[in-house]
């Protein structure tokens, strides 16, 4: 299975960095042993969560139960064919640490996706469950897997690299504190504590936090299969806003329609054709407002008028700039720049 | 160079609402330089019921230069020459705008018929009469409308037919009618005196 993940992931691997190789040694040693342990613990956890679910479904928010069920489903699926799960985002992180055991790579993967998901999840999760706040290791199987050294290192490395939001930074000291003891042991104890709490239903907080944590897993697995939506609350702020970029060509697409959207700000609605020559106004023409009265005309007719009396056909007032001035403003850019350029084109032809 | 595509579109636009405005613009020559405009006399004026014909010539600079217009039909109006039909209207001179069209210009002429400006006359005699003897002005204007603006609506061919029946050669009748602006009686006088 390990080798499977390697062969599957290696071609996709962007660039395994040096820290991954150091991790490789540590994690490979006990991969098989841990896998056995983890399987046992996963079963344990699943039964516990099932108990919690039956007890505390009233506290669950809408959909939390469903999502948790999905998360459990996800967990099973990941353990069974983790290496084949090429669609989800944790796979990308797998490729960063190709030699990790599948479960470990799953954890690392969730750590990798942490900045996006943990941002929300940790805000609602209580401090009693450090596992849920500790990055993407929010789902049961993941928290148990956190005992691995390499994984912890990897989380810290990723967190250092991607420390984008405050929540991450807040959690780090807590994490460090647990790491300063025996990282694997302390982490395990914390996790098992929280799991016991869950199992016994002692703390509502922890119970609530668990669905929150569980909710994050499906959100990870679902959201990571597609691009961030612009209105997505999970969306990292550092991502470029495509909606803005899209708005520019969208405006350009109105080109042929007489520049209707451009006319909204102006005194008069832009006509679809020049009132002087009756030719269709193009994009430049319809964004061209030579007179404060709002009378629009094409650049050719405007140029012709400037050559003669230079008065606006709409209000009969002289245009504020004559052709000589507009030629001089060529360096200035914007509207007058386009005007001047068009005029000079006419003059050459 | 005249923008013929614009003139063509103007004619199309004008023919669309000929019923509403009553203003017609028809080309005389094929090249759209020479046109004829027809405006109905405004209701409530001594020109009511008349149909006034104008000769329109487009300058090379049209629409950046105003069209040249004058009345063919004789009109008794302070701002229209009773002799030549020349029109004193600012939009046909310095206040022309390329945004105006033949139709809007003819509408302005029609408005001028209902709102004379005797302080800025084209025909001083008419303007004096308008200011000093308004009743006479009104009756004269009405008489001219009856005499010239209504008979012209009969059509040139009928007038030609009448005069030819009187024994004048057709070509001479047509040229004489052209000279006098379609007025049958004046054409007869001219034909008799020639």
pLDDT at A35: 74
Give the mean pLDDT of chain A. Answer: 53
CA gap A143, B68 in Å, rounded: 92
Interface check B6 vs A, CB under 8 A: yes
**Distance between A315 CA and the closest CA of chain B, angstroms:** 9
**Distance between A277 CA and the closest CA of chain B, angstroms:** 6
Position A214 pLDDT exceeds 60: no
Residue-wise DSSP of chain B: ---HHHHHHHHHHHHHTHHHH--EEEESSTTSSEEEEEEEPPTTSTTTT-EEEEEEE--TTTTTSPPEEEESS---BTTB-TTT-BB--GGGTTT--TT--HHHHHHHHHHHHHS--TTS-SSHHHHHHHHH-HHHHHHHHHHHIIIIITGGGG-HHHHHHHHHHTT--HHHHHHHHHHTTS-HHHHHHHHHH-
In the CATH hierarchy, which fold is given to the domain comprising A243-348?
Answer: Herpes Virus-1 (3.30.40)
Q: Which two tokens stand for residue A79?
A: 């353990």
For residue A334, how far is the Cα from the chain centroid?
Answer: 35
Position A250 pLDDT exceeds 80: no
Interface check B66 vs A, CB under 8 A: no
Of the candidates A276, A279, A304, the beta carbon closest to that of B99 is on: A276
Q: Residue B55's closest CA among B41, B74, B42?
A: B74
- Specify which of A15-24, A102-111, B93-102 reaches the highest per-range mean pLDDT: B93-102
- Kindly report, residue by residue over B21-71, the tens digit of the pLDDT: 889 998 887 788 999 999 999 999 999 999 999 999 999 998 999 999 999
**At A318, is the secondary structure helix, strand, or coil?**
strand
- CB-CB under 8 Å, B97 with A314: yes
The label of the residue with tokens 């018929």 reads B113
Q: How far is residue B175 from each of residues B27, B165, B171, B190, measured CA to CA in Å? A: 19, 16, 6, 11
Contact status, residue A19 vs residue A96, Cβ threshold 8 Å: no
Strands across the sheet with B68-71, in order? B24-27, B34-40, B51-57, B68-71
- What is the rounded average pLDDT of the residues A233-248? 53
* More confidently predicted of B117 and A252: B117
pLDDT at B150: 82
pLDDT at A225: 53
Give the mean pLDDT of chain B. Answer: 89
- Kindly report, residue by residue over A164-183, the tens digit of the pLDDT: 544 444 444 444 444 444 44
- Kindly report, residue by residue over A116-147, the tens digit of the pLDDT: 333 433 333 333 344 443 344 344 444 444 44
- Kindly report, residue by residue over B79-132, the tens digit of the pLDDT: 999 999 999 999 999 999 999 999 999 999 999 999 999 999 999 999 999 999
The confidence band for A325, taking pLDDT boundaries of 50, 70 and 90, is: very low
Of the candidates A278, A279, A313, the beta carbon closest to that of B97 is on: A313
Position A323 pLDDT exceeds 80: no
Query: Class for domain B4-151, per CATH?
Result: alpha beta
Of the candidates B64, B95, B100, the beta carbon closest to that of A304 is on: B64
pLDDT at B131: 95
- What is the rounded average pLDDT of the residues A298-303? 90
The confidence band for B188, taking pLDDT boundaries of 50, 70 and 90, is: confident
pLDDT at B157: 73
Of the candidates A278, A304, A311, the beta carbon closest to that of B9 is on: A278
Residues A226-231: contacts with CB under 8 Å, at least 24 apart: A228/A116
Q: Which two tokens stand for residue B184?
A: 């049958």
Domain boundaries, chain A: 2-234, 243-348
HEC string of A338-349? HHHHHHHHHHHC
- Show which residues on chain A lie within 8 Å of chain B, measured between beta carbons: 275-279, 295, 297, 301, 304-305, 308, 311, 313-314, 316
Could you give the angle at the alpha carbon of A339 between the alpha carbons of A336 and A341, nearest 5°?
110
Mutate to test the interface with A, among B3, B64, B91 (most CBs of A within 10 A): B64
pLDDT at A282: 87
The confidence band for B18, taking pLDDT boundaries of 50, 70 and 90, is: confident
- Kindly report, residue by residue over A255-291, the tens digit of the pLDDT: 444 333 343 444 455 678 888 888 888 888 888 888 8
pLDDT at B185: 83
Chain A's closest residue to B97, CA to CA, is A313
Annotated active-site residue B88? The verdict is yes
Q: How far is residue A39 from each of residues A32, A42, A80, A292, A334, measured CA to CA in Å? A: 11, 5, 11, 76, 67
Domain boundaries, chain B: 4-151, 155-193
Contact status, residue A114 vs residue A137, Cβ threshold 8 Å: no
Position A159 pLDDT exceeds 50: yes
- What is the rounded average pLDDT of the residues A317-346? 49
The label of the residue with tokens 């302080």 reads B119
Position A37 pLDDT exceeds 50: yes
pLDDT at A203: 42
């Amino acid at each position: 299975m390990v080798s499977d993940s390697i062969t599957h992931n290696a071609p996709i691997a962007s660039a395994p960095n040096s820290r991954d190789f150091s991790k490789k040694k540590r994690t490979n040693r006990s991969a098989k042993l841990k896998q056995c342990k983890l399987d046992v613990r996963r079963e344990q956890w699943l039964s516990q969560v099932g108990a919690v679910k039956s007890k505390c479904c009233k506290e669950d928010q809408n959909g939390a139960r469903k999502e948790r069920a999905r998360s459990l489903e996800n967990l099973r699926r990941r353990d069974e064919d983790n290496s084949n799960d090429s669609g989800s985002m944790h796979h990308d992180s797998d490729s960063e640490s190709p030699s990790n055991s599948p479960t470990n790579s799953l954890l690392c993967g969730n750590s990798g996706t942490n900045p996006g998901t943990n941002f929300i999840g940790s805000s609602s999760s209580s401090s009693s469950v450090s596992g849920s706040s500790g990055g993407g290791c929010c789902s049961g199987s993941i928290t148990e897997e956190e005992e691995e050294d390499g994984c912890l290192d990897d989380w810290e490395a990723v967190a250092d690299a991607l420390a984008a939001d405050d929540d991450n930074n807040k959690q780090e000291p807590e994490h460090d504190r647990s790491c300063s003891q025996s990282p694997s042991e302390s982490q395990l104890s914390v996790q098992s504590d929280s799991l016991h709490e869950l199992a016994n239903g002692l703390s509502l907080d922890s119970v609530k936090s668990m669905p929150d944590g569980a909710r994050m897993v499906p959100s990870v697995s679902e959201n990571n299969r597609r691009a961030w939506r612009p209105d997505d609350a999970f969306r990292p702020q550092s991502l470029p806003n495509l909606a803005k970029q899209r708005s520019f060509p969208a405006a350009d697409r109105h080109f042929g329609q007489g520049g209707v959207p451009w006319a909204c700000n102006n005194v008069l609605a832009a006509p679809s054709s020049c009132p002087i020559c009756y030719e269709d106004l193009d994009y430049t023409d319809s964004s061209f407002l030579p007179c404060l009265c709002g009378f629009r005309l094409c650049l050719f007719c405007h140029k012709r008028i400037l050559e003669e009396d230079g008065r606006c056909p709409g209000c009969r007032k002289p245009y504020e700039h004559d052709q000589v001035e507009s030629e001089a403003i060529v360096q200035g850019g914007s509207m007058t720049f386009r005007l001047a350029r068009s005029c000079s084109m006419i003059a050459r032809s | 160079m005249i923008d013929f595509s614009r003139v063509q579109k103007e004619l199309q636009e004008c023919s669309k609402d000929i019923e509403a405005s009553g203003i017609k613009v028809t080309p005389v020559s094929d090249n759209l330089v020479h046109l004829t405009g027809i405006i109905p006399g405004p209701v409530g004026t001594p020109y009511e019921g008349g149909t006034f014909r104008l000769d329109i010539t487009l300058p090379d600079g049209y629409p950046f230069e105003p069209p040249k217009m004058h009345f063919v039909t004789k009109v008794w109006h302070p701002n229209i020459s009773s002799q030549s039909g020349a029109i004193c209207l600012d939009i046909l001179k310095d206040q022309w705008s390329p945004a105006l069209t033949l139709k809007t210009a003819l509408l302005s002429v029609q408005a001028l018929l209902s709102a004379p400006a005797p302080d800025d006359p084209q025909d001083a005699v008419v303007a004096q009469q308008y200011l000093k003897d308004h009743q006479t002005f009104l009756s004269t204007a009405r008489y001219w409308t009856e005499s010239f603006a209504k008979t012209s609506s009969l059509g040139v061919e009928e007038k030609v037919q009448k005069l030819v029946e009187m024994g004048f050669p057709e070509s001479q009748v047509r040229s004489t009618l052209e000279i006098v602006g379609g007025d049958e009686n004046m054409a007869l006088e001219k034909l008799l005196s020639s």
